[in-house]
Amino acid sequence: MKVIKLGGSLVSTGRLLKCLNHIEHNYAEPVVIVPGGGQFADVVRQLQQDWGFDDVTAHAMAILAMQQIALMIQGLKPKFALAHSVNDIQLVLQPSKVVIWSPVLAELNAAKINASWAITSDSLAAWLAQQLHADELILVKSALINSNDSLEQLTERGIVDPCFSTFCQDAHFLIKLINAELFYG
């Protein structure tokens, strides 16, 4: 099983549907899609700067941003199942089935995932891949990615969040970062 995190920037660059079509037509094994928060999360960041509310509130709002993108994906691909928790995913995930994760705050809080901008949907995708015992985690980004870069270099360049390598340090799955055009190209 693969966990594929689709960066929120794929929405604003118009690449999201091509990525979804690629997943729909090219993966025989089960796939779980983790949506980024995209423009919705960008608004949360700006509102937090403008209004000065705490990280716990911003984190909850950023999870809602991921949920909105998850709903949008399901609207574009109604055959894809929507699941809100690890248990829900395990119940609906079947071979040749695509599931969209729409995370719930209660499960992330129970897992003691910190409310911080240092933990984005990249780290949450790694956490989910661990929980599901995935074979592979693929992060699809709009950014150009040098395949020779280490996770530390990717973090320094802002390609992945600062906590991503921590969430991946005991990973029993392959980790791949790829530019969207190479993903569906």
- pLDDT tens track for 61-75: 999 999 999 999 999
Q: Which two tokens stand for residue 25?
A: 């037509």
Assign 168 to helix, strand or coil: helix
Quick one: pLDDT at residue 185? Answer: 83
Which backbone phi and psi does 178 adopt, to 5 degrees?
-145, 145
What is the domain extent for residue 158?
A: 2-184
pLDDT of 60 strictly over 90: yes
Q: Are 6 and 35 in contact (CB under 8 A)?
A: yes
**What is the rounded end-to-end Cα distance, in angstroms, of the chain?**
22
pLDDT digits over 119-141, tens only? 999 999 999 999 999 999 999 99
Residue 180's CB: how many other CB atoms inside 10 A?
22
Count of the separate structural domains present in the chain: 1
The pLDDT of residue 18 is: 98
CATH number of the domain encompassing residue 98? 3.40.1160.10
